[in-house]
Amino acid sequence: MADSPTPAVDTGTPGRIRRSSVSQTRKKKASTIPIGIVVFALIVVVGILFAADQANLAFFWFTGTVFGYILQKARFCFTASLRDPYLTGGTSLTKAVLTAFAVTSLGFWAIQYAAASAGLPIPGQSFVAPINVHTAVGGVLFGIGMVISGGCASGTLMRVGEGFMMQMLSIAFFVVGSVIGAAHFGWWMENVIVHGRSIHMAEIFGWFGALVVQLGTIALLWIAADKFAKAKQGAAAH
Amino acid sequence: MQEQTLDCLGEACPVPLVKTQKALEDLAVGDVLIVQIDHSCAMKNVPEWAREAGHNVEIEEVDDGEWEIVIEKAK
Amino acid sequence: MLKKLSDAIGKNDYYKIWLKDAWPYVTGAVLLSVFQIGTLAVTGNPWGVSAAFANWGAWIIEAFGGSVEKWYYFSSDGAIAVLERGFLRDPATVRNLGLIAGALFSVLIASAFKIKKIKTKKQVVAAILGGLLMGYGARIGFGCNIGALYSAIGAFSLSGWVFAVFIFAGAIIGSKLLVKVFM
């Protein structure tokens, strides 16, 4: 999809903008590349230890580190993708998240369709959750929480790794909130969730229809996000 | 020509960007805003927004995990 | 040797592109998708993050002599088995720890690590309140931005799209709150 040909971070031409104050650049400390290499080695060692315990734990460990690396490197933030259109008018992360939805859908579709055709249980079925009032309440609470604390679950973990004390605190209370939620889960189950329905899109549209509807929806949202940002930018210019 | 410094050290997204947007509104064309940040995501989204809004932008890495974004209001 | 290796890495042209500078968002989107698909193919389940936090809470309660046996949430055979195996044998927990380690590696190798202290009391309140709301919301909503949104939509669950609409609404309320109260 359309991506600007310019590098992700263009530092501009230093010194082009006249500034009266002196640049705050302090004498650069020694680079932390050596510590990075040590951490890399530790990640590998921990992975080997996990593999010695249970092979699947090593898989989870390594994919976790890769997810963390990708999220940090690309500054990928699900919170920003849902917050920025309203707050700042920017939609570049929204478009990137939609792109991720599209690519992931293609891969998931292939895996699920292959399993369904072979008469096997569909992988990922446990993530097809019932829909009812709890979806709305959970979504709104989660949406408020992620914006004020500056990161959702994955983003908060990533920022803990980056050295944010604030996010370390919010992880602690994420755990507390999860416990309260888990404690109330029985009530929600009995009164709300049980009346909801889990719907896999293939049930409504068929397997090929589901793929078409999904990718079509994503494409329309992507165009809407693109036009929205341009309209906002245009409005700001006048 | 005026120059203003905005201290966003220790602030997580979206605070640096929102503060930058507000601060720039009050400046005149040609004025310079220096935003100090230590949030790696803001180091990407603040310059991105400012460029799309048509301003001149430079990023300086002043220390490990600390940047100064120099924005010259262009319109 | 470590210093020589570090210098060699730091001087390499590809260091700047792959390890130092931020990547375009779309690169992140495609790479995350590749590993999402790999995760589904290998483990039979997509990526999830927040369910592990409830387990952490259960272990903390157990460490203080409490019990979650009678809780409906932890009553399934699967949940009981996970809690019995413990912290470092819970795959979801291990993946979350890996995520922190991966992000730490990313900032260290880019020479951009900095401990960011909490600056104001407002940040403390925002972190506590935000954490609580996310924790509660994720439990009753069947996951976070990853499990109930990204993975659910990827798995063609209608719940993912419904959840998206309401997180978006929540994000608008949160933004207003943030600008008026926490900034």
C-alpha angle with apex B36: B62 to B20, nearest 5 degrees? 145
* Partner residue opposite C112 with nearest CB, options B9, B18, B64: B64
* pLDDT number for residue A138: 98
Q: Is A132 helix (H, G, I), strand (E, B) or coil?
A: coil
The CA-atom distances, in angstroms, between A179 and each of A174, C49, C123, C133, C139 are 9, 15, 23, 11, 8
Q: Say if residue A6's pLDDT is above 70.
A: no
Answer yes or no: do C106 and C24 share one domain: yes
The alpha-carbon radius of gyration of chain C (Å, integer) is: 20
Nearest 5°: phi and psi at C47? -70, 135
d(CA C69, CA C2): 50
**What's the total number of domains in chain B?**
1
Answer yes or no: do C86 and C140 share one domain: no
Domain membership of residue A81 (yes or no) is no
The CATH number that applies at residue B58 is 3.30.110.40
Amino acid at C163: F
Domain membership of residue A43 (yes or no) is yes
* Residues of B taking part in catalysis: 13
* Partner residue opposite B21 with nearest CB, options A17, A88, A163: A88
* Partner residue opposite C73 with nearest CB, options A161, A176, A182: A182
Final residue in a domain of this structure, among C88, C114, C140:
C114
Q: Do A14 and B58 make contact, defined as CB atoms within 8 angstroms?
A: yes
Q: Do B34 and A19 make contact, defined as CB atoms within 8 angstroms?
A: yes
Q: Do A20 and B53 make contact, defined as CB atoms within 8 angstroms?
A: no
**What's the total number of domains in chain C?**
2
The CA-atom distances, in angstroms, between A215 and each of A98, A234, C42, C153, C167 are 10, 28, 24, 11, 21
Shortest distance between the Cα of C81 and any Cα of chain A, in A, equals 15
**What's the total number of domains in chain A?**
1
Shortest distance between the Cα of C171 and any Cα of chain B, in A, equals 12
Answer yes or no: do C1 and C74 share one domain: yes
Q: Say if residue A8's pLDDT is above 70.
A: no
Final residue in a domain of this structure, among C76, C97, C114:
C114
| Cβ-based contacts of C24 with chain A (< 8 Å) | 3-4, 7-8, 74
Residue C99 in tokens: 């995520």
pLDDT tens-place string over residues C46-100: 999 999 999 999 999 999 999 999 999 999 999 999 999 999 999 999 999 999 9
d(CA A46, CA A44): 6
Q: Rounded to an integer, what is the distance from CA B24 to the centroid of its chain?
A: 9
Q: How much is the mean pLDDT over chain C?
A: 96
Q: Say if residue B35's pLDDT is above 80.
A: yes
Least Cα distance to A153 among C91, C98, C175, C144 occurs for C144
Across residues B27-53, what is the average pLDDT?
92
Is any Cβ of chain A less than 8 angstroms from the Cβ of C81? no
Q: Do B58 and A84 make contact, defined as CB atoms within 8 angstroms?
A: no
C63 half-sphere exposure, CB direction, 13 A CA radius: 8
Q: Do A75 and B47 make contact, defined as CB atoms within 8 angstroms?
A: no
Q: Do A142 and C167 make contact, defined as CB atoms within 8 angstroms?
A: yes
Answer yes or no: do C123 and C160 share one domain: yes
Amino acid at A20: S
Domain membership of residue A41 (yes or no) is yes
Shortest distance between the Cα of B57 and any Cα of chain A, in A, equals 6
Amino acid at A74: A
Domain membership of residue A204 (yes or no) is no
Q: Which residues contact C159 (CB under 8 A, 6 or more apart)?
A: A128, A129, A130, A131, A135, A198, A199, C142, C148, C152
Chain A residue nearest residue C41, CA to CA: A111
Answer yes or no: do C101 and C169 share one domain: no
* pLDDT number for residue A9: 62
Residues for chain C: how many in total? 183
* pLDDT number for residue B75: 80
* pLDDT number for residue C113: 94
* pLDDT number for residue A11: 67
Domain limits for position B53 = 3-72
Across residues A27-37, what is the average pLDDT?
83
Across residues A99-115, what is the average pLDDT?
98
Domain limits for position A70 = 34-74
Is any Cβ of chain B less than 8 angstroms from the Cβ of C27? no
Across residues C166-182, what is the average pLDDT?
96
Peptide bond between residue B14 and the one before it cis (omega within 30 degrees of 0): yes
Q: Do C183 and B18 make contact, defined as CB atoms within 8 angstroms?
A: yes
Is any Cβ of chain C less than 8 angstroms from the Cβ of B52? no
Across residues A185-209, what is the average pLDDT?
97
Strands (E), chain A: 130-131, 197-198
Across residues A189-205, what is the average pLDDT?
97
Position A24 confidence tier, pLDDT thresholds 50, 70, 90: low
pLDDT tens-place string over residues A125-165: 999 999 999 999 999 999 999 999 999 999 999 999 999 99
Domain limits for position C92 = 1-114
Final residue in a domain of this structure, among C58, C87, C114:
C114
> Tokens 């579709």, residue?
A109
Kindly list the strands in the beta sheet with B66-72, ordered across the sheet, starting from the edge strand earlier in the chain.
Answer: B3-8, B32-37, B66-72, B56-63
* Partner residue opposite C47 with nearest CB, options A67, A180, A185: A67
| Residue A15, Ramachandran bin (φ over 0: left; ψ between -120 and 50: alpha; else beta) | left
A152 half-sphere exposure, CB direction, 13 A CA radius: 32
Shortest distance between the Cα of B48 and any Cα of chain C, in A, equals 11
Q: Is B7 helix (H, G, I), strand (E, B) or coil?
A: strand
| Cβ-based contacts of B44 with chain C (< 8 Å) | 22
Is any Cβ of chain A less than 8 angstroms from the Cβ of B8? no
C-alpha angle with apex C139: A50 to C45, nearest 5 degrees? 45
Q: Which of B15, B36, B37, B40 to mutate to test the interface with C (most CBs of C within 10 A)?
A: B40
pLDDT tens-place string over residues C99-115: 999 999 999 999 999 99
